Amino acid sequence: MNKVAKLEIEGKVYELPIVEGSEGEKAVDISHLRQQSGYITLDDGYGNTGSCKSAITFIDGEKGILRYRGIPIEELAEKASFVETAYLIIYGKLPDHAELQRFSDLLTQNEMLHEDLKFHFEGFPPNAHPMAILSAMINASSCFHQRLLGPLDDETFELQAARLLSKVRTIAAFAYRKSRGLPTIYPKPVYKYTANFLHMMFSQPFQDYELKPEIVRALDLIFLLHADHEQNCSTATVRMIASSKANLFASAAGGVCAIWGPLHGGANMEVIQMLEDIHREGDDGSRFITAAKDKASGKKLMGFGHRVYRHYDPRAKIIKKQCDDLLAVLKRADPLLDIAKKLEDAALHDSYFIERKLYPNVDFYSGIIMRAIGIPIEMFTVMFAIGRMPGWIANYKEIMDGQGARIYRPRQIYTGPTLQHYRTISERR
Ligand code: ACO
């Protein structure tokens, strides 16, 4: 028998279906509540709203669990590459040899940008933020692949997905080179995904960048750890845009804009700026912790807290270890890592953070690795966006495949003026 929840409003009882997910998550389906009762539900910030059913990523925020298509993030981080993980997220299964080869070949075949698209970079001022360029250029890409904007059969989707996933790193590297007044470096088909990106970022026309395997692996891992995270702000944005049946490039461009914000992907930049400030001011972190607890200070401990995790973010654990390993291999010390560890230790023993269940999130240590790799701070959020692309693509596909899917269109409780009438300008005071 189907389970129902009962809701009583003004003496009338409404039966609402209960929906259960494959991991036992439970929801009350209120989709017909307004029709039945005239009431909607109100959930500012959607903290308690399931906007969809999805088979891509599972998170248990209380226990600190993250799985892509059922596979724990820890196993993927140890054994898989970003490209293999991207395949898993997009197609729902780990690829066999032939599938992985075909996917990798498609990425290689689509790594170049249309030469005319390249000219669009010239229109941006030298200090343009790379996230603005990334979003604009992903959107502009749809002008160059118009054949792919029609009905979404499997072949078209495969090509769209490969184009976007491959070209995003070329666009990102070109955006960086443009922002620094450097000549663009074309991709090399012999390199794998992440190595090719580093080559486009750091090679010079007269000298190839030396690809250290540890650095390639560290960045590949960062991409992998960011590859999906269920209905976060940017993914929900991508789904929202896709629900209007906009194309994949337009939907992903919107995702880039959403992830840019400092409370979302932009936090990785903010963490480093915070650590640099603390370092410059000679604080051991304790003054900052005091300020972060005081709402009037306007400060937050960036890289801490998460809407879903009320436990240590499992990605932060992996990144912290990777951070230690990479700095050891490169024989580098970073004073910001010491400050970060002190802040973490202080916060994890402080009642303010304990009571609110605030733990390090994925952004807390990722910036320190990126600094060690040589990625400039303004490109940190771009790295996040490249990594998140498989998740956006997979979520886009779920929307497009949705049986009878409706356009996303939340309601609101109106709090503005009641009926007013137009007054001519001389009647207004
Ligand atoms: N430092 C200090 N206090 C914090 C922090 C923080 N980093 N995060 C939350 N709090 C406090 C809030 O002020 C609030 O206090 P109150 O109950 O006394 O009012 C309480 O903890 C609960 O926080 P919420 O605001 O309800 O948390 P919410 O789920 O809305 O926000 C968010 C989550 C945006 C991540 C928040 O924790 C934050 O701003 N963190 C810093 C920015 C950051 O690291 N963002 C990256 C998130 S991960 C990602 O996007 C990849």
For 238-280, write each residue's pLDDT tens digit: 999 999 999 999 999 999 999 999 888 888 899 999 999 999 9
Mean pLDDT for 158-167 is 95
Computed over every residue of the chain, the mean pLDDT equals 94
Taking the C-alpha atoms of residue 89 and residue 66, their distance in angstroms, rounded to an integer, is 13
Is 30's pLDDT higher than 90? yes
d(CA 240, CA 251): 8
**Phi–psi pair at 344, nearest 5 degrees:** -60, -50
Predicted pLDDT at 402 = 85
Rounded distance between C-alpha atoms, residue 350 and residue 357, angstroms: 11
> What confidence tens digit (pLDDT) does each residue in 1-19 have?
789 999 999 999 999 999 9
Is 97 catalytic? The answer is no
Return the CA Rg of the chain.
23
**What does the pLDDT read at residue 14?**
97
Nearest to 266 by CA among 168, 401, 129: 129
Q: What is the pTM of this model?
A: 0.94
Residue 194 to residue 191: CA distance in whole angstroms? 8
Residue 116 a catalytic site member: no
Q: Kindly report the protein residue whose alpha carbon is nearest to atom 14 of ligand 1.
A: 356
Residue 299 Cβ contacting ligand 1 at under 6 Å? no
Band of pLDDT at residue 58, cut at 50, 70 and 90: very high
Conformational region of residue 45, where left means phi above 0, alpha means psi within -120 to 50, and beta covers everything else: left
Q: How far apart are CA 103 and CA 115, in angstroms?
A: 24
pLDDT value at residue 404: 60
Average pLDDT over residues 397-411: 88
Kind of pairing between the strands at 65-68 and 71-72: antiparallel
Residue 419, Cβ neighbours under 10 Å: how many?
4
pLDDT average, residue stretch 338-358: 95
Q: What is the pLDDT of residue 306?
A: 92
- pLDDT score recorded for residue 80: 98
CA 75 from centre of chain: 20
Q: Is the CB of 306 under 6 A from ligand 1?
A: yes
On the CB side of 312, CA atoms within 13 Å amount to 12
pLDDT band at 149 (very low <50, low <70, confident <90, very high): confident
The answer, yes or no, to whether residue 359 has pLDDT greater than 90, is yes
Q: Is the CB of 212 under 6 A from ligand 1?
A: no
Of these residues, 229, 306, 313, 350, which one is catalytic? Answer: 306
Burial label for 237, CB within 10 Å (0-12, 13-18, 19+), is: buried
Identify the residue whose C-alpha is closest to ligand 1 atom 39: 263
Q: Which of 43, 263, 315 to mutate to test the pocket of ligand 1 (most atoms within 8 A of CB)?
A: 263
Token output for 371? 């600094």
Q: How confident is the model at residue 403 (pLDDT cuts 50, 70, 90)?
A: low
Best of 351, 361, 382 to mutate for ligand 1, by most ligand atoms within 8 A of CB?
Answer: 361
What angle is formed at CA 106 by the lines to CA 104 and CA 110, rounded to 5 degrees?
A: 120
* Residues 312-334: tens digit of each pLDDT: 999 999 999 999 999 999 998 89
Residue 36, CA distances (Å) to 4, 8, 16, 30, 88 in order? 15, 12, 10, 10, 41
